[in-house]
Amino acid sequence: MAAAILAASVGAAHAQEAQQLERIEITGSAIKRSISDEGALPITVLKAEELRASGVASVEAIVELLSSSQSSNTGSNSIGSSTGGATYANLRGLGTNKTLVLLNGRRMTAFAFGANAVDLNSIPFAVIDRVEVLRDGASAVYGTDAIGGVINFITKSNFRGGQAVLELSNPQEKGGKKEGASLTFGFGDLEKDRVNFWASLDKRRTDRIRALDRDFAKTGIIPSRGVAGSSPTTFPGNFTQGNLSGNPSAPDCKGPLSVVNPTNNKVCIFDFSSTIDIAPDVDQTTLAGRASVKIGDNHVLSLDAISTKNDNTARVAPDPVSAITMQPSNPFFPRNYPGIDTTKPISVGWRMVPAGPRTNGSHSTAERAVADLSGVIADWDYRAGVLYSKSTANDAAVDGYVNAPFVRAQVAAGNLNPFADATPAQLAIIEQAKRRGVFANAMGETQSADFRASKEIFDLPGGRAALAVAAEYRKEKYKNDTNDDVVLAIPSAGRSANHVGGDRNVKAIGVELLLPLHKMVEVQLALRRDDYSDAGATTNPKVGIRFQPIKELALRGSYNTGFRAPGLDDLYAPQTVTFSSGAKNDPLLCDAQGNPINGGVKSRDCQSQPQVQNGGNPDLKPEKSKTFTLGVVVEPIKALTISADYWNIKLRDQISVLPIDVIFADPTRYAANIVRCNTLPADVQANLQRCGGLDLNSNAIGYVVQTNANIGRVKTDGIDFAVAYSTGLGAWGNLGLQYESTYVHSYKYQTNPSGDFIQNVGVYKDGSPVLRWKHTFSAAWALNNWSSRLAIRHQSGYRDQNDPTTVVGGPSFYGNVDTYTLVDLSGTYKFNKSTALTLGVKNLFDTDPSFSNQSTRSQRGYDPRYSDPIGRAFFLRASYGF
């Protein structure tokens, strides 16, 4: 279990003996059982109140504490992308679309832009009571698409009274301040008054962090580490004429953003990393409520509603405009530049620094309503419900984007000079060139009805056997539409005009048996059949066994198969042309050292970002998996619990994109994926950065096809290990210690169905690493109204990306990313059950992210997916009950 939650067990050993065991539905089973018995399945339970007291202030931060999570899809991914600010869970590193996220045991609508995974921002943090994580893979109970596991967020129930909460986290360095406030109130006791109602309003905001605010991120040009994260499109602009490249201001480039190219002092390069945000501005508002009525003695009708609004603002480098044609007659033509042919035009790339940084604004909403009826009929525990859930999102140009065709025309007319500072008249033209507006609107919608029931049916030597049956119907919709005039005017936004959508119906039935064959042996059997209107039907079993020969020792294991139909976004996502994340060499027109060959142009074809085409593929096949786990739980003494669970997952027909490095490494095999300008119509070339102007009908790469595909198989296995110990200290209170870790033994994948397997553990491959170790450790102390917590988060290092196109100097600068450890400390005083004050510090030792030479993210010098850029931050949480 996550390190921060141990305080829940401090001093609770004796209380648990007297506690009346409540029969509830535990994640991973539809059969109601004692909460103290998790059966054959490895489950992690996190108590939200203890997490809050440790400084956790978001659902995203909860997921980051899971050692089984290979989270790489954080809010910072909105920088330089069109993610809409979404944050996702990624158990076992299998992908966000293979982790099933539930709210109170039911599905949520996938985020509108992704349509494959739930945005964690849409989950109401203020009313979360606990989180249950089923780590054994696909669940025959909730859906066989849960190949990586299930995360079930469970909200408060039967809440009475009121509570106001204020939260503040203030970093030691500039930027990243977090503020939050929530108000929750409720009345009525479901048992006594037969009614309960509660509602909660939660408001949170986080201030952006600029790259310049942190030393480890302030530049992408780090000669001492061989890092040259830069762009050839700079200010003042570079020009090319055939293989002549130049900049009239070089080598005295206009610093600090524009610096001389270390390998060619005749041109300048742009330090784009220094101009971006490394964490966005975020504003979030959530309204949630529940009304419950007890009907008779055995039935409860509940109505739940949640509405979340999330605004994300992120800034990246000023707009690059390339393929600007300048004729010799132009008044700004550099006719005195050595070697230039004054009878021929030049092609110019110009960074629009006078227009300011490009600012993206993303707005998303998530709405969900559930009607639930549960109770007991003729000894059957039942639960039935209907659900409506909707996600909407848009992504907009707020400032800094320019109409590229307009800029090209103004340069061609002699009204703008790309080689010098803008005059007041030219600034007015640049302001006129700015284009604002919404790029795209997306919508996802889920409607569903479900029923499940369970009952003890007969006696077995180990106890009463139990049966559960379940049925579900749901309808999913997806739609994504661009504002064509906006996306066509702003090619740097990496969007293409599109109007796509899709829908599907899913029907499912399932059955589950719990068989206590002996006092020592319990068996769980489950079978689920899902019928997709577009992907066919599938039947998947699950078997779990628990063997407890003595009180202090239990052995457990499970086996299941999984089936994940291609998501609606996998199938129908708009096919959009955008820039690749890192610089590459054209395999036909450049040699390995980045020098032009076969008529290539260095500034266009070598060590530059090619454009890539991403998007859906309606011909995808479903993904299928086999998972088994084998574990042991030992309790040598009453206060000490030790568990170890081995897991093994095999996945075939993985849906992903073919990595660009794989395509370029074998250009003959993947010739169809490399689309060159001279194979495209002129009107298509006009909207591609490498095909416009003087490069019309050239042999340059127009774009590389990286649409979704079934690229091959994945094989991964590892061990989850946990230790929990609690003890009384007499007059000094109670102490609890807890340790949780995940060790990934192997993660091998293919990039094509017949290709070799590639090992990804501990090494950066094709876009990301898989961390071999993740650990959390906590020490929790409590005495009367006082408590404190020390939490340590640790992850292992790995072999860095070491991309030869972006690490200048070659192998001498190749290296490893160091281990990364953060320490948090907090103290709490409780005035009463619902009133408390917590003070603490996150990242106690102000540890910077480990250096990385990765080039797949806009942020450089570190990897934002596996580290926290905030640094040391002091936090306060005050709650007042009334």
Q: Reply yes or no on whether the pLDDT at 35 is more than 50.
A: no
Question: Could you give the angle at the alpha carbon of 78 between the alpha carbons of 74 and 84, nearest 5°?
Answer: 105
- For residue 831, count other CB atoms closer than 10 A to its CB: 12
Residue 246 phi, psi dihedral angles, 5° rounding? -160, 170
Report the alpha-carbon angle 814-67-101, nearest 5. Answer: 115
The radius of gyration of the chain from alpha carbons, rounded to an integer in Å, stands at 29
Entry pTM: 0.89
Cis omega (within 30 of 0) for bond into 251: yes
Residue 250 has φ and ψ, to the nearest 5°, of: -70, 150
pLDDT for the residue 78: 67
pLDDT at 23: 42
Please, where are the H alpha helices in 297-452? 404-412, 424-433
Closest C-alpha to 476, from 809, 139, 115: 115
Please name which of 234, 227, 59 lies closest in space to residue 151, comparing C-alpha atoms. 59
Pick the closest to residue 672 from 658, 683, 692, 651 (CA basis): 658
- Which amino acid is located at 715 in the chain? K
Rounded Cα–Cα distance for residues 39 and 556 (Å)? 8
Please tell me the distance from the alpha carbon of residue 458 to that of residue 855, in angstroms, as a whole number: 61
Looking up tokens 């739980």, which residue turns up?
Answer: 633
Residue 464 in tokens: 């009463």
For the segment 251-276, the average pLDDT, to the nearest whole number, is 90
CA dihedral (138, 140, 142, 145) positive or negative: positive
Mean pLDDT (the chain) is 89
pLDDT in tens, 159-176: 899 999 999 999 999 999
Residues 352-397: tens digit of each pLDDT: 999 999 999 999 999 999 999 999 999 999 999 999 999 999 999 9
Q: Are 433 and 355 in contact (CB under 8 A)?
A: yes
Chain segment 584-608, per-residue pLDDT in tens: 899 999 998 888 999 998 888 988 8
Max CA-CA distance within the chain?
Answer: 97
Residue 420: Cβ within 10 Å count: 15
Q: Are 36 and 48 in contact (CB under 8 A)?
A: no
pLDDT above 70 as % of the chain: 94
Rounded to 10°, the helix 424-433/404-412 angle is: 150
Q: What is the mean pLDDT of residues 138-165?
A: 88
Note whether 375 and 382 are within 8 A (CB): yes
Structure tokens belonging to residue 671: 């010739």
Contact 776, 2 (CB under 8 A): yes
One-character DSSP codes across 585-631: --TTTB-TTS-B-TT--HHHHSSB--EEEE---TTPPPEEEEEEEEE
Beta strands in 188-250 (DSSP E): 195-206, 209-210, 221-222, 227-228, 238-241, 244-246
User: Using one digit for the tens of pLDDT, what is the confidence trace for 37-90?
Assistant: 545 567 888 888 888 877 888 888 888 888 988 866 666 666 766 667 788 899
Two structure tokens written together for 326: 């300048």
CA pair distance 392, 367, nearest whole angstrom: 9
List, as one string, the DSSP characters of 652-704: EEEEE---HHHHHHSTTTTGGGEEEGGGS-HHHHTTSTTTSGGGTT-SSEEEE
User: Phi, psi at residue 598, to the nearest 5°?
Assistant: 55, 35
Q: How far is the C-alpha of 395 from the C-alpha of 80, rounded, in Å?
A: 12
Query: Which helix (H) or strand (E) segment is 485 a member of?
Result: helix 484-489
Q: Which helix (H) or strand (E) holds 59?
A: helix 59-64
For residue 573, the model assigns a pLDDT of 87
| pLDDT for the residue numbered 72 | 60
The whole-number pLDDT of residue 19 equals: 32
Which pLDDT belongs to residue 8?
31
The backbone torsions φ and ψ at residue 212, rounded to the nearest 5 degrees and listed phi first, read -70, -15
Range name among 9-13, 476-480, 581-585, 678-682 with the lowest pLDDT average: 9-13
Q: Are strands 99-103 and 149-155 parallel, antiparallel or unpaired?
A: parallel
pLDDT value for 587:
95
What is the per-residue pLDDT across 805-840, written as a single tens digit (0 to 9) for each? 888 888 999 999 999 999 999 999 999 988 999 999
